[in-house]
Amino acid sequence: MSEIVTANRLADGVVVFLDAEGDWVEDFARAAVYADAAAVAAALALGAEAVARSQIVDPYAVAVERRNGHYAPKALREAIRASGPTVRRDLGKQAQGQAPVFTLDANAEGRHVSL
Amino acid sequence: MYRYDEFDAAFVAARVEQFREQVARRLAGELTEEQFRPHRLMNGLYLQLHSYMLRIAVPYGALNARQLRKLAEIARKYDRGYGHFTTRQNLQFNWPALKDVPDILAELASVEMHAIQTSGNCIRNVTADHYAGAAADEIADPRPYAEILRQWSSLHPEFSFLPRKFKIAVNGAAHDRAVIQAHDIGLQLVRNDRGELGFTVYVGGGLGRTPFIGRKVREFLPERDLLAYADAILRVYNLEGRRDNKFKARIKILLHEKGLADLRDAIEAEFAAHDRTGLALPAQEIARINAYFALPPLEAKTPVSERVERRRAKDAKFAKFVESNVAPHKTPGYAMVTISLKPIGGVPGDASADQIDAVADLAEDFSHDEARVSHEQNLILPHVALDDLDAVYDRLASVGLATPNAGLISDIIACPGLDYCALATARSIPIAQRLSERFGDGARARAIGPLKIKISGCINACGHHHVGHIGILGLERAGEETYQVTLGGSGDENAAIGEIVGPGFSSETIVEAVETVVETYMARRLGPQEDFLAAFRRVGIAPFKEALYERSAGADI
């Protein structure tokens, strides 16, 4: 298994991910990937602490998989949540270079999202 | 238009300050999310897929230029430069920060707007026919009654903790443009034999996972009894509605489980037992509220504008716009103009801040400072002189708002779907975009005639798919988006829930499936005068099933 832990930041609602240092970061690429249930449980415990500190809301684990050398969410819902609206590529993480990499096509930016 | 009195202004201002304190306590950690959630929902604030979402009430869809400009300003200052008009005639901002929401609400209060009761288990924003007060076919203006209901239901202490949300709609013409039979209470303005005004009352309509068409509980309710009768319905529902299962908590389920006769008896008994004098509407109060909604002073003109006719003759685009987006006004020489928020390939219901500003200017310059939001996610200029139509059209065209497709196949309702919504199971908007690109707003769409496609991205049915002539419901199956098609639904006075045509279609095949449905209709119709719904009702679902599943390779499940 491979999972990451995500939440929304309380003050502004922005989607965040737990990184390896225990910080809640906006960039999907920095999300820590956990390989077993114990690691996910430990990450969710950090999430519960961040909830108690009023830093984030609704932490949960998301299944990810490696595609062409990059991790990306398995479920479409989570892929869209981690990227932004597919109908507005100018909005959300995809517009800020913080979305998952879904394909390794020849797109100049190298972070082309193809959901 | 209704103007806040001192009480209204103080009430809304107090709510803003109350919520400001609640947000401060939440951010400081004094309130948990569980404690805070009911407060934010009662102020229209959701947590969605990407961010918070603020749903702003537009009572019965009515807006003036000042309000529109404020919405545009909020879009630029606090959001991402656009807003989304919804099937509840509301406006949603998709990216506000929680910390900014009290300031946004204060800005709204400065133009007599708020987000109260746009969510939560309470009486939601009351909706009405978007042509109210202007339509040539109107029996009476529904807005005064919607306003009376709004005032009565705002923070009503007895009805703030209902089993589930509760939606009321009021329609003022014989033709139902407010989908009243899909509401918890649907009110149809009527006149009795003596010419007195009243309401035919429908109860228990609703879409969602268990769709029902509302049932008639009163043929004629005198207007003075509006609140007393609504109170009786709400009391029965509040007492007997199920609280054990949120999926069975709407009044439609109570009606279904209790039966129409028993529910009607219970409502009438409550109505009779309760002291009605306190809630009876005095004639002078009705007149006072009505005065806010008086028709602007419109000087009657010739019913045909030479100016319009000349341009129609030489400008095909303008002619198309007049044909589909302009409807008759009750005053000769005027018209109601539908501003389509369905550009071909665009996002249904979205408008940029610049477009909202442009509509504000048009409302001010050409429509007596009035604009409306329709449940079909379009905007309306209700009082435009025919001689001004070409100027209005040119200005709309200059900001990309002159799509000539109102009521046509590309005038599609679509919920935000999985692109924005935390509840969605599939995307709605991309399907609407591809369908509108397929059928367009030109000769093909016109040949097809009136056809309403409505798309929801989950069974909650915000996109009204059950009452679409062609309804599309997006679901998720084994990790893939799949789209179920219903046919023959209708949200007008002959309301009907669409029939599921068969197994669903993939994202790749759904557009082709709709094409097959349309081709089947075109081949079977008696002529251009027989629209899709009429033809469907005549031939039934069998020819469509056959075309989709036996002759076509479109079905993939």
Query: Rounded CA gap, A44 and A61, in Å?
Result: 7
Query: Rounded CA gap, B82 and A58, in Å?
Result: 27
- Name the CATH superfamily housing domain B413-551: Sulfite Reductase Hemoprotein, domain 1 (3.30.413.10)
Query: Rounded CA gap, B413 and B464, in Å?
Result: 8
How far from the centroid of its chain's Cα atoms is residue B332's Cα? 28
Residues of chain A positioned with their CB less than 8 A from the CB of B95: 13, 91
Residue A85 near residue B49 (C-beta atoms within 8 A): no
Mark yes or no for CB contact B27/A10 under 8 Å: yes
* Residue from A83, A91, A113 to probe the interface with B (highest B Cβ count within 10 Å): A91
Stated as kind and residue range, the H or E segment containing B12 is helix B6-27
Query: Rounded CA gap, B488 and B178, in Å?
Result: 18
Positions of E strands within B245-388: 326-328, 334-339, 350-352, 371-373, 379-385
Residues of chain B positioned with their CB less than 8 A from the CB of A75: 479
Q: Please name the amino acid found at residue B233.
A: I
Q: How far is A38 from chain B (nearest CA, A)?
A: 26
Query: What is the pLDDT at residue B275?
Result: 74
Query: What is the pLDDT at residue B62?
Result: 97
- Residue of B48, B430, B479 with shortest CB distance to A87: B430
Residue A95 near residue A14 (C-beta atoms within 8 A): no
Stated as kind and residue range, the H or E segment containing B84 is strand B82-85
Query: What is the pLDDT at residue B249?
Result: 97
Average pLDDT rounded to a whole number, residues B92-112: 98
Mark yes or no for CB contact B51/A12 under 8 Å: yes
Q: Please state the domain extents for chain B.
A: 6-109, 137-292, 306-398, 413-551
Give the C-alpha distances (Å, rounded to integers) separating B407 from B134, B395, B534. Answer: 18, 21, 15
Query: Rounded CA gap, B211 and B209, in Å?
Result: 6
Give the residue on A whose Cα is nearest the Cα of B25: A54
Mark yes or no for CB contact B47/A58 under 8 Å: yes
Query: Rounded CA gap, B80 and B94, in Å?
Result: 8
Mark yes or no for CB contact A84/B80 under 8 Å: no
Bridge partner residues of B206 (DSSP) = B212
**Distance in Å from the first CA to the final CA of chain B:** 52
Q: How far is A76 from chain B (nearest CA, A)?
A: 7
pLDDT of residue B87 exceeding 80, the answer is: yes
- Work out the burial of residue B550: count CB atoms within 10 Å of its CB; fewer than 13 is exposed, 13-18 middle, 19 or more buried: exposed
The model's pLDDT over B206-264, given as tens digits with 9 standing for 90+, comes to 999 999 999 999 999 999 999 999 999 999 999 999 999 999 999 999 999 999 999 99
Q: How far is B479 from chain A (nearest CA, A)?
A: 7
Residues of chain A positioned with their CB less than 8 A from the CB of B80: 91
* Residue from B25, B31, B50 to probe the interface with A (highest A Cβ count within 10 Å): B50
pLDDT of residue B554 exceeding 80, the answer is: no
For B40, phi then psi, to 5°, come to -70, -35
The vertex-B111 CA angle with B106 and B117, nearest 5°, equals 65
pLDDT of residue B553 exceeding 60, the answer is: no
Reading the block at residue B526, the tokens are 């008696």
- Residue of B98, B429, B476 with shortest CB distance to A13: B98
| Inter-axis angle of helices B6-27 and B33-42, nearest 10 | 160
Mark yes or no for CB contact B99/A57 under 8 Å: no
For the segment(s) B6-109, the CATH number from 2.60.40.10, 3.30.200.20, 3.90.480.20, 3.30.1130.10 is: 3.90.480.20
Chain A residues contacting B via beta carbons under 8 Å: 8, 10-15, 51-54, 57-58, 74-77, 80-81, 84-88, 91-92
Query: Rounded CA gap, B254 and B205, in Å?
Result: 11
Query: What is the pLDDT at residue B552?
Result: 52
Residues of chain A positioned with their CB less than 8 A from the CB of B415: none
Query: What is the pLDDT at residue B557?
Result: 46
pLDDT of residue B548 exceeding 50, the answer is: yes
Residues of chain B positioned with their CB less than 8 A from the CB of A58: 33, 47
How many CA atoms within 13 Å lie on the side-chain side of B480?
12
Instruction: Give residue for tokens 């062609």.
Output: B470
Reading the block at residue B40, the tokens are 């934010």
pLDDT of residue A111 exceeding 50, the answer is: no
Radius of gyration of chain B (CA): 23
Give the residue on B whose Cα is nearest the Cα of A26: B50
The model's pLDDT over A38-71, given as tens digits with 9 standing for 90+, comes to 999 999 999 999 999 999 999 999 999 998 899 9
Query: Rounded CA gap, B399 and B384, in Å?
Result: 18
Query: What is the pLDDT at residue B274?
Result: 80
Same fold, B6-109 and B306-398: yes
The model's pLDDT over B438-458, given as tens digits with 9 standing for 90+, comes to 999 999 999 999 999 999 999
The vertex-B410 CA angle with B408 and B411, nearest 5°, equals 70
The model's pLDDT over B47-86, given as tens digits with 9 standing for 90+, comes to 999 999 999 999 999 999 999 999 999 999 999 999 999 9
- Provide the ipTM: 0.94
Query: Rounded CA gap, B478 and A76, in Å?
Result: 11
Contacts of residue B5, defined as CB under 8 A and 6 or more positions apart, other chains included, come to: none
Q: How far is A74 from chain B (nearest CA, A)?
A: 9
pTM comes to: 0.95
What is the architecture, at CATH level 2, of domain B306-398? Alpha-Beta Complex (3.90)
Query: Rounded CA gap, B178 and A99, in Å?
Result: 41
Residues of chain A positioned with their CB less than 8 A from the CB of B48: 13
Q: What is the fold of B137-292?
A: Sulfite Reductase Hemoprotein; domain 1 (3.30.413)
Max distance between CA atoms of chain A, in angstroms, equals 44
- Residue of B50, B418, B481 with shortest CB distance to A84: B50
Residues in chain A: 115
Mark yes or no for CB contact B98/A75 under 8 Å: no
Q: How far is B99 from chain A (nearest CA, A)?
A: 6
| Count of CB atoms situated within 10 Å of the CB of B363 | 27
**A69-108 residues labelled b (16+ CB within 10 A) or e (exposed):** ebbbbeebbbbbbbbbbbbbeebbbbeeebbbbbeeeeee
Mark yes or no for CB contact B33/A8 under 8 Å: no
pLDDT of residue A96 exceeding 90, the answer is: yes
B232 versus A115: which is more confidently predicted?
B232
Q: Please name the amino acid found at residue B346.
A: G
pLDDT of residue B476 exceeding 70, the answer is: yes
Radius of gyration of chain A (CA): 14
The conformation of residue A28, written as its DSSP 8-state character, comes to G
Residues B424, B430, A82, B483: what is their CA dihedral angle, to the nearest 10 degrees? 40
- Residue of B27, B97, B419 with shortest CB distance to A80: B419
Query: What is the pLDDT at residue A105?
Result: 42
Query: Rounded CA gap, B549 and B552, in Å?
Result: 6
Q: How far is A29 from chain B (nearest CA, A)?
A: 17
Q: What share of chain A is helix, strand, coil (3-state, %, to 5)?
A: 25, 30, 45
Please give the full DSSP string across B348-378, using - where no structure is assigned.
TTEEEHHHHHHHHHHHHHHSTT-EEE-TTS-
- Residue of A54, A86, A92 with shortest CB distance to B27: A54
- Residue of A15, A87, A92 with shortest CB distance to B433: A87
The conformation of residue B333, written as its DSSP 8-state character, comes to T
Q: Please name the amino acid found at residue B32.
A: T
Report the relative pairing of strands B470-477 and A24-25 from DSSP bridges: unpaired
Residues of chain A positioned with their CB less than 8 A from the CB of B93: none
Task: Give the rounded percent of residues in chain B with a pLDDT score beyond 70.
Answer: 99
Residue B170 near residue B201 (C-beta atoms within 8 A): no
Residue B24 near residue B40 (C-beta atoms within 8 A): no
Query: Rounded CA gap, B475 and B464, in Å?
Result: 15
3-state secondary structure B166-193: ECEEEECECCCCCCHHHCCEEEEEEECC
The model's pLDDT over B407-437, given as tens digits with 9 standing for 90+, comes to 999 999 999 999 999 999 999 999 999 999 9
Q: How far is A94 from chain B (nearest CA, A)?
A: 12
The model's pLDDT over B307-360, given as tens digits with 9 standing for 90+, comes to 999 999 999 999 999 999 999 999 999 999 999 999 999 999 999 999 999 999
Q: How far is B160 from chain A (nearest CA, A)?
A: 26
Query: Rounded CA gap, A81 and B96, in Å?
Result: 16
Mark yes or no for CB contact B29/A53 under 8 Å: yes
Closest residue by Cα to residue B114 from B33, B11, B26: B11
How many CA atoms within 13 Å lie on the side-chain side of B30?
6
